[in-house]
């Protein structure tokens, strides 16, 4: 047997070359570009990869440019959890959500009670009652007529971008949370629960009400059991 390396025979001129399987991504260079209509379909073709797109951000998205971000409030999840358990009526919760939505940079809420009543479609007396209960827990406090302030640890709007008009330049306002906290704590005229907020009293009240309701359910079960025993004894 010859020890010389074997040479590959040249293929016959014009012989057909092997083709890639249909749909193989490596063959994409040989196909004309087609518009993508369904991103899910593209993603399924490459299960091990992540798709990302760069486009102009929409006004309703939760972010803006780093220099002028859209204003969205920072809300404590612990605060949401406590108020969801504490307030048995819907109106205080609706009012808190309205004030979160309407607060400006720095946590100020420029809303009169008449405006709150109009938006929520309830009587002003109901708004006054619900607002008084919310304020009694230090969640918000009154700054002046028609202006309230959120307690920063619960909900706080850091910044807002005010678009310009024909007569006004656009304005970007930012108020850091620690600055507002410092001002509130320095104000001796404010209640202690506002200056040094805590949800502990609301937690204690939640536990008290739960125990009270549990005791009431147990009492009703005992009465029902006693009633059934009496009926059996009579029959």
Written as one string, the DSSP assignment of 132-194 is: HHHHHTTSEEEEETTEEEE-TTTEEE-EEEE---SSS--EEEE--HHHHHHHHHH-TTS-HHH
pLDDT band at 117 (very low <50, low <70, confident <90, very high): very high
**Higher model confidence: residue 89 or residue 26?**
89
What the block records as the tokens of 80 is 């949401």
Does the pLDDT value for residue 190 go beyond 70?
yes
**Higher model confidence: residue 56 or residue 52?**
52
Cα of first residue to Cα of last residue in the chain, in angstroms, is: 113
**Higher model confidence: residue 127 or residue 65?**
127
pLDDT of residue 29: 55
Q: Round to whole Å and give the CA distance between 181 and 47.
A: 48
How far does CA 128 lie from the centroid of its chain?
27
pLDDT of residue 18: 57
Does the pLDDT value for residue 183 go beyond 60?
yes
User: Which ranges constitute the DSSP H helices of 10-166?
Assistant: 39-45, 77-86, 90-102, 113-120, 124-136
Does the pLDDT value for residue 57 go beyond 60?
no
Instruction: Kindly report the number of other CB atoms within 10 A of residue 108's CB atom.
Output: 17
Q: What is the pLDDT of residues 9-29, one digit of tens each?
A: 655 555 555 555 555 555 555
126: helix, coil or strand? helix
Q: Round to whole Å and give the CA distance between 55 and 34.
A: 19
pLDDT band at 196 (very low <50, low <70, confident <90, very high): very high
pLDDT band at 130 (very low <50, low <70, confident <90, very high): very high
Question: Among the listed ranges 42-51, 106-115, 177-186, 190-199, which one has the minimum average pLDDT value?
Answer: 42-51
**C-beta separation of 91 from 116 below 8 A:** no
**C-beta separation of 145 from 155 below 8 A:** no
pLDDT of residue 231: 84
Q: Round to whole Å and give the CA distance between 196 and 152.
A: 11
The mean predicted confidence, pLDDT, of the chain is 83
Question: Among the listed ranges 76-80, 156-160, 216-220, which one has the minimum average pLDDT value?
Answer: 156-160
For residues 158-164, give the mean pLDDT. Answer: 81
Which helix (H) or strand (E) segment holds residue 109: the answer is strand 108-109
CA distances (Å), origin 125, targets 93, 109, 138? 16, 19, 20
Q: Round to whole Å and give the CA distance between 15 and 37.
A: 38
pTM for the whole structure:
0.67
Instruction: Kindly report the number of other CB atoms within 10 A of residue 125's CB atom.
Output: 10
Most confident option among 59-63, 101-105, 170-174: 101-105
**C-beta separation of 124 from 117 below 8 A:** yes
């Amino acid at each position: 047997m010859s020890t010389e390396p074997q040479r590959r025979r040249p293929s016959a001129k014009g012989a057909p070359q092997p083709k890639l399987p249909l749909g193989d991504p490596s063959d994409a260079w040989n196909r004309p570009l087609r518009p993508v209509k369904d991103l899910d379909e593209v993603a399924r073709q490459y299960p091990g990869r992540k798709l990302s797109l760069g486009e102009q951000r929409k006004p309703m998205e939760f972010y803006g440019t780093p220099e002028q971000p859209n204003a969205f409030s920072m809300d404590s999840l612990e605060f949401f959890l406590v108020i969801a358990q504490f307030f048995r009526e819907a109106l205080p919760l609706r009012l808190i959500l309205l004030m979160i939505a309407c607060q400006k940079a720095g946590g100020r809420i420029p809303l009169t009670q008449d405006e709150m009543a109009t938006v929520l479609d309830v009587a002003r007396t109901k708004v006054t009652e619900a607002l008084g209960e919310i304020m009694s827990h230090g969640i918000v406090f009154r700054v002046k007529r028609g202006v309230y302030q959120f307690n920063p640890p619960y909900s706080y709007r850091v910044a807002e971008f005010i678009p310009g008009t024909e007569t006004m330049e656009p304005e970007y306002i930012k108020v850091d949370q620690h600055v507002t906290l410092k001002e509130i704590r320095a104000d001796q005229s404010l209640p202690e629960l506002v200056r040094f907020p805590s949800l502990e009293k609301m937690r204690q009240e939640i536990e008290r009400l739960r125990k009270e309701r549990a005791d009431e359910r147990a009492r009703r079960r005992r009465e029902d059991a006693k009633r059934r025993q009496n009926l059996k004894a009579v029959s």
